[in-house]
Structure 1
Amino acid sequence: MPPAVHHTQQQVPQQWVYVKSEPPQWLTDIRAAPPAAIRPATLWSVLATAVLSALLLGEGLGLNLLFVAVPAALAAYFAARAAGRRPRPWTLAWALGGLALLVVPALRDAGWPTFLAVVSALALGSLVLHGGRTWPGVLMGSVGLLGSVGSGMAWAWRGLRERAHGSRDRWGPVVRTTAVAVLLLVVFGALFAGADAAFADLLGGFVPEVSVADGPWRFFLFLLGLIGALAAARTAAAPVRWDRLKVRRGRARGRTEWALPLIVLDLLFAAFNAVQLAVLFGGYDKVLRETGLTYSEYARQGFWQLLWATLLTLLVIALALRRSPRDGARDRVLVRAVLGSLCALTLIVVASALRRMDLYVEAYGLTRLRISVTAMELWLGLVIVLIMAAGVWGARWLPRAVGASAAAAVLAFGLVSPDGLVAEQNVERFRSSGKIDLNYLQELSADAVPALYELPEPYRFCALRGTAERLEEDKEPWYAASLGEARARELLRERPLTASVGCAELGLDEERYLF
């Protein structure tokens, strides 16, 4: 018999199969609805934003930011209106705050308050489009505009394709009419400018100077304005619903487990504040004799530690609220008493930190860093007051109130002219003690010129010569110059600087400030 043949079944390898996974539930909850097709009014507003960005933003920042922001805001408004959205009171408040912040570059020459104001204005603009109410809504909504950069371009491209396919006959007359209008303006504007010097000066003040060498830079600004306006309009048409992002509260702790560490912390704060009050009423001299420190060393030794203590206290309060007991009225009273005491004691720490900074400034003068951290400490104190008020009247309004207070603090910081304050304090310090740091004063912006003009010569010349040379070299157009620069130029023109001795004899580093 022939041998039996055993047939084995060949194993066929499985092919890779792509299995689509479902997104997390929280991502589904916050996802934006599909936006409606982009409208012509939105497209024209976006184009106007891009053109104004290319023409006006190349020389600097000033009123031009407001000119660019207006059509961008109109693009977002038209998109929101097409989507059926209507402004609410907080939306209008964020919008007005953002426009107010954009005034700071038109008033101040200093770059640092301008930077803070522009960033804060963008954050408020993003909040306008998202309409956040909760902590996730306010925190994520302030930066949510960045998420619409790519989707905004795709949204505009789809809308253009649909409209170009359905209305080709209407685009031709629009393009031809625009081209003819621009040609007529250029030709007759050039003829009238050549015929009359006064009209040429007027026209030159309003028309930006554009050269071929500036082409890449102007094109970049055009793209920046285009993408930014499209992102704003796309967000207004269909914003991400960050308010739907739920943050689960932590597991509640027992009263003793929760309260005991915080009560110990309260006692530590109370002991520290008692020492501070004793030093305040007993005078610093005794403390300084016992410690061997000077006023400035005593102030510098504690300010930064107290600043960090304030920040960490806010973190402790946030974590304590997540784990607080929640069984009834007695627990609510306990939470309010313990955390309210901690907030009140922290306000005394804030006052102590500010007093130490005051001592430090008396010894070494005011600087940009010192005025900045002082402003931050003041704002942290305001946040603690808001938290205490939320413990009494409820916390639904707290996220938006904290955001509004931050924007108001940045606006106030820009309006008070920090460089001007630094210059005024250093001039007063020079009058009282004869001490002055000309090397540092040379670094201040044109906002400091009116205060520095109060110095006697030759200190005035040595403190202002760098700013004077910079203002002489930089000729920004009216829409890119600040009020601080205009006042400085007027002072320098009315009261020219004179030098009687070399600035090196007064301690100025000549090589460092060689212009």
Structure 2
Amino acid sequence: MLDKLLQSPKRPLYALAGALLLAVIHQYLFYGHLPGLSYPLFTVCLYVFMFVYAKDRMREFTWFGWLLFTSVMLLSLTYVLFYNPLFYALNLLVIPCLVSVHMAYKFSGRRLDWADIRLLWDTIDHLIPQNLRHAGTLFRVLKNITGRRLEEGHKRVLVQILIGLLVAVPLVTIVVALLASADGMFDHMLASVPSWLGSHLTFGEGGVRLVWVVVLCLLFFGYLWGFVDSRPYSTELKTGDTTDDRLEQKLGEWAEEAVSVKLAPVITATILVTMNVVYLLFVYTQFAYLFGASEGVLPDGLSYAEYARSGFAQLIMVTAINFVLMLVVLLLGEQAPGRLHRWNQGMLYVLVACSGIMLYSAYIRLVMYEETYGYTYTRFLVHAFMIFLGLLLLIAALRIHITRIPLAKCYVVLGLCAYVLINYIGMDTIIADRNIERYRVSGNMDVYYLQGLSADAVPRLIEFARNEYPELNAHLQERFAGMDSIHVPWQSFNLAEYRAQKALEDYFRDQ
């Protein structure tokens, strides 16, 4: 059945119908609703749309393709499972980017390796140039519907009409909304227009939904058809080549020039020795305080909190600089002969060791700072970043001796897995637990920050209020009243919010 659809001369018409259905689903799920259950549902619909109508352009299944797909679906499910405000907003950007890269990897005709930097070019190319290039395919679909050949003059007129509509409809929508707000009778008249259909839509809402569906339908169709009927790339430029051809070749030349730049072994050794001398002196002075700060061994004139706060950001920046320096040496350094090669390897290991000590020093300072001032989103994420940077350093250290380790591929996979993990680790609950533990030890509590945690932490806050801190009851009561007064449509369903509301309901019913 699917094979017949792909071979049918009406394939563009079927694809346009699928794009229209997908656009209708999109506006139904997201118009006037916050992302929730709607997000993974639409993600699945988008993948089904692409896999059905572009199946013959799909490359064979690979482990990286499955990794990207799994990551996209897991991140989409965070809109159902969690309610962390940071990732709630950040994933609105991250997920579409990952989906676009996955589609380019899966459907692009060039079958690029997933670590090839040109895959990013393919991603952008299919999002914009290839998409817009197929605007004219719509007329071929119209010809199939009417059964008549559109003359060039008619095509030109139809194009101009469509452009006029695309410009006029949003303007009319805005103007009508303004006029309706300015004149009550006009608003009443417009509101009664759809009533004979039994519709509850206002004229303005219906217009916005219509524009939403039309625009997304064209974009979805153009995006799909950019893979189905993509413009082939030539390896050599010929007369009449497009700007895209020339730009991509230029980018390739720049990439080749960048790769061809090499650092002479003596230059590498000089840089590493100079940097390591400074770092070794710094590490020497750090040891007395690094392992003795918790026992009160601090620099003169600095309190416990001041020592924890001082130099933290600088240590992270220096470690990051060292990481970049190590990558430059590993990727651009020329192979040194004999002893010089072993010397440079040794200097790289010293650089890794010093970077590790500085990273550990920054980590200890942050732990001390949190013990004094409490735990927050920012401090938690900095902890996660330091652990991530430590893993990157470890992989780079292995690369010093095992030269066949593909750094770029390792970093892409590690970065993707780390981002999914940080979404699922339960940041709000961990922060609540750490602040509660701090309260038990020191008696200090930043109750205002605790109250600002998302719905993920509410069950833990209820337990804390019931057993140890009844002062939270007023906040929990206010939070429950706010949740109970808001009707949440099924499209915006979120498990963390639902669980928090039920926990609050049970808690106050038992009191």
Please state which band the TM-score falls in when normalised by the shorter chain.
Answer: 0.7 to 0.9
Provide the residue aligned with 1:266 in structure 2. 276
Partner of 1:8: none
1:512 aligned residue: none
Q: Which amino acid aligns with 1:460?
A: L
Q: Kindly indicate whether the alpha-carbon contact (under 8 Å) linking 2:30 and 2:491 is maintained by their aligned counterparts in 1.
A: no
CA distance in 1, matches of 2:378, 2:231: 38
User: Aligned partners of 2:325 and 2:232: how far apart in 1?
Assistant: 30
Displacement of 1:154 after TM fit? 4.2
Name the CA shift for 1:267/1:231 in 2 (closer, same or farther; >3 Å): farther
1:163 maps to a residue whose letter is V
What's the RMSD between the two structures over aligned residues? 3.4
- Paired residue for 1:233, among 224, 240, 252? 224
Take 2:474 and 2:413, find their aligned partners in 1: how far apart are those partners? 41
Residue 73 of structure 1 corresponds to 47
Equivalence map 1:91-170=2 (5 Å)? 91-131=65-105, 132-134=113-115, 136-137=117-118, 144-145=123-124, 148-149=127-128, 151-155=130-134, 157-168=135-146
Matching residue of 2:321: 312
Question: In the TM superposition, what are the counterparts of 1:477-496 in structure 2 within 5 Å?
Answer: 477-496=489-508
Residue identity opposite 1:257 in structure 2: I
List runs of 5+ in structure 1 lacking aligned partners.
1-35, 171-208, 500-515
Q: How does 1:71-470 map to 2 (within 5 A)?
A: 71-78=45-52, 80-83=54-57, 85-131=59-105, 132-134=113-115, 136-137=117-118, 144-145=123-124, 148-149=127-128, 151-155=130-134, 157-168=135-146, 211-212=201-202, 214-215=205-206, 218-219=209-210, 222=213, 225-226=216-217, 229-230=220-221, 232-234=223-225, 236-237=227-228, 238=230, 245=252, 246-247=255-256, 248-249=258-259, 251-288=261-298, 290-321=299-330, 323-326=332-335, 333-394=342-403, 397-453=406-462, 454-455=464-465, 456=468, 458-470=470-482
Paired residues, what number? Answer: 422
Q: Percent identity?
A: 22
User: Residues of 2 paired with 1:228 and 1:336: CA distance?
Assistant: 52
Q: 1:234 to 1:302 in 2, by over 3 A?
A: farther
* Matches of 2:200 and 2:366, distance apart in 1: 48
Q: Post-superposition shift, 1:68?
A: 0.8
Residue matched to 2:21: 48
CA distance in 1, matches of 2:401, 2:11: 46
Q: Give the C-alpha shift of residue 89 in structure 1.
A: 2.7
Structure 1 residue identity aligned to 2:67: A
Give distance in 2, aligned partners of 1:37 and 1:318: 52
- The one-letter amino acid of 2:419's match is V
Distance 2:222 2:362 in 1: 42
**Contact residue 325 and residue 331 of structure 1 kept, 8 A:** no
Q: In 2, Cα distance between the equivalents of 1:495 and 1:112?
A: 28
Q: CA deviation at 1:361?
A: 0.8
- Closer, same or farther: CA 321–397 of 1 in aligned 2, 3 Å: closer
Cα distance in 2, alignment partners of residues 52 and 76 from structure 1: 15
Measured in 1, the distance between the counterparts of 2:412 and 2:200 equals: 40
Q: Which runs of 5+ in 2 are unaligned?
A: 1-8, 106-112, 149-198, 234-247
Do the aligned partners of residues 412 and 440 (structure 1) sit closer, same or farther apart at CA in structure 2, a change above 3 Å counting? Answer: same
SS at match of 1:62: coil
Runs of 4+ in 1 over 6 A off after TM superposition: 239-244
